[in-house]
Structure 1
Amino acid sequence: MNTAPDAAAGAAKRWREYPPLNLHPVLRHAMEAFNEHGYHGTSVRDIARRVGVTVPALYYHYENKQVLLVTLIETSIRDVLDRCRAAVAEAGDEPVARFSAMVECVVLYMTNRRGLAFLDTEIRSLEPENRARYVALRDYLEHMLLDTVEAGVAQGAFATPIPADASRAVLTMCQSVATWYSPDGPLPPEAIAERYVLLCLSTVGHTGDRTLGPGPPAGAQRGRPRAVTGTRNTFR
């Protein structure tokens, strides 16, 4: 049974770079179906039809629908964690730089890998053991951010009196980008990430000055909020 997609070695070291997503065809079609119809609204037969294989052939690669969801969700959260580790390592020890790098990293992921990232909304569909494993990984990411915020508070760079709540709010705000982002608007992912860094610095009570840089260059990849209709977003 294949439970992991192919991945470029060392990709996290280039945490701002997003080559084309290299997923097994079964995973790619499952991701698209889950995003369009939800986990419970998608059958294994639906996925097999999209892939162009029989149901038994699909089961040869992935033993059930739950394994597909687990593989996709864990692929996403582990990639975010690896990229965030690389981002904070590059940023150094200064809390504001580390915090800004983490926010930028998460938002860039939400815009460049929104099909995977949006599946975070399906954690309620995970079986208890799988959910617990995912929550542990997500908590690790939250604690990475909290440690940085607490360091900033200790140094006087951040003024929030509630660092745990502020960290949780920041992460929630960044992850929500995957629910509305579409690549055909006026701002590229980099500009959206820069704006979210500014918003999140305000959330933690950053005591220094920070302003937005210039707008996106001509011809830059663009992105805008996507209108939400019904109960699901689609990513095409």
Structure 2
Amino acid sequence: MPVVSESSPSPDARTRLARAAVEAFSTRGFHGTTTRDISTAAGMSPAALYVHHRSKEELLFELAHVGHLRVLEMVRASVATSDDPVEQLGTLVEDFVRDHALVHTGARVINYELAALSAEHLAEVVAIRHDIDEVVRDVIDRGVGAGVFVTPDPHMTALAVLSLGIDVARWFRDEGRWSPDEVAVHYRLLALRMVGAVG
């Protein structure tokens, strides 16, 4: 989910604020982070955040909204690579998990700080999350219909698959035992076992 590119040269003020917010929210939590913390980490004056965002909550919403839309695009693209539900689910899970490992700090913020959003902003993000869930559920439903998946509750299985992938952002560390690719390949195998993939 890179909500902001980590490699763009000389980032603009909004990008610097976004990067600083991700780091601050990930270490202190939304409620433990002040607007001054974010602005200072971005190398800007304490009031700089308000030039670009009405509030700290609006900045979190922008991060979550952009990040979730990007993930929705990614899972749709993963499914579009094949007509076979087994391959679709495998590719989707591999891409989803690799992404959550590669950008674990940002993914952790946009998945675990949602309670700080206003009701209106939360509803917008939840709607995108529902769309992501629907993509996964549709693949599983089609696999069950084609006789290549065996699971009594495709909806619950879709939620379980996504929950496992999201949680990678919580525990993954760059200096850890496994690479993003290793985790992604292993989770692909786990997901296909969860749906009882046949063949």
- Tell me if both proteins adopt one fold, taking TM over 0.5 as the criterion: yes
Residue 121 of structure 1: aligned partner = 112
CA contact (8 A) 2:137 2:158 kept: yes
Unmatched tracts of structure 1, length 5 or more: 8-18, 209-236
In the TM superposition, 1:156-175 aligns within 5 A as 156-175=147-166
Q: Distance in 2 between matches of 1:105 and 1:25?
A: 27
Contact 2:4 2:18 (C-alpha < 8 Å) held by counterparts: no
- Which 5+ residue runs of structure 2 have no aligned equivalent? none
The CA deviation at 1:58 is 2.2
Match of 1:33 in 2: 24
- Residue pairs, 1:99-178, within 5 angstroms: 99-119=89-109, 120-178=111-169
**What does residue range 173-184 of structure 1 map to in structure 2 within 5 Å?**
173-184=164-175
Which amino acid counterpart does residue 69 of structure 2 have in structure 1? R
Instruction: Please tell me whether the aligned partners of residues 35 and 118 of structure 1 are also in contact (alpha carbons under 8 angstroms).
Output: yes
* Greater share of residues in strand: 1
**1:6, CA displacement in angstroms?**
6.5
Task: Give the superposed CA RMSD.
Answer: 1.7
CA distance in 2, matches of 1:95, 1:20: 35
Q: Deviations over 1:41-86 (max 9, x none)?
A: 0111111221222232221112210111011111211111111122
How far residue 89 of structure 1 moved from its aligned partner, in angstroms, is 1.3
Number of equivalenced pairs: 192
CA distance, structure 1, for counterparts of residue 147 and residue 7 of structure 2: 41
- Which structure dedicates a bigger proportion of its chain to helix? 2
Residues 1-236 of structure 1 correspond to what in structure 2 (within 5 A)?
A: 20=7, 24-90=15-81, 92-119=82-109, 120-208=111-199
One-letter amino acid of the structure 2 residue matched with residue 55 of structure 1:
P
Larger RCO: 1 or 2 (CA < 8 Å, sep 6+): 2
CA distance in structure 1 between the aligned counterparts of 2:179 and 2:4, rounded to whole angstroms: 27
SS at match of 2:134: helix
Alpha-carbon distance, 1:88 to partner: 1.4
Q: Distance in 1 between matches of 2:170 and 2:4?
A: 25
- Please say if residues 31 and 115 of structure 1, whose CA atoms lie closer than 8 Å, have aligned partners that are also in contact: yes
Do the aligned residues in 1 keep the contact of 2:68 with 2:129 (CA within 8 Å)?
A: yes
Secondary structure at the counterpart of residue 33 of structure 2: coil
Deviates more, 1:168-177 or 1:184-193: 184-193
Structure 1 range deviating more: 44-53 or 139-148: 44-53
Aligned-pair identity in percent equals 34
Q: Determine if contact 2:94/2:188 at 8 Å carries over to the other structure.
A: yes
Output the TM-score relative to the length of structure 1: 0.77
Cα deviation, residue 191, structure 1: 1.3
CA contact (8 A) 1:39 1:125 kept: yes
Counterparts of 2:143 and 2:54, CA distance in 1: 46
Is the partner of 1:68 in helix, strand or coil? Answer: helix
User: Whole-Å Cα distance in 2 between the matches of residues 140 and 26 of structure 1?
Assistant: 28
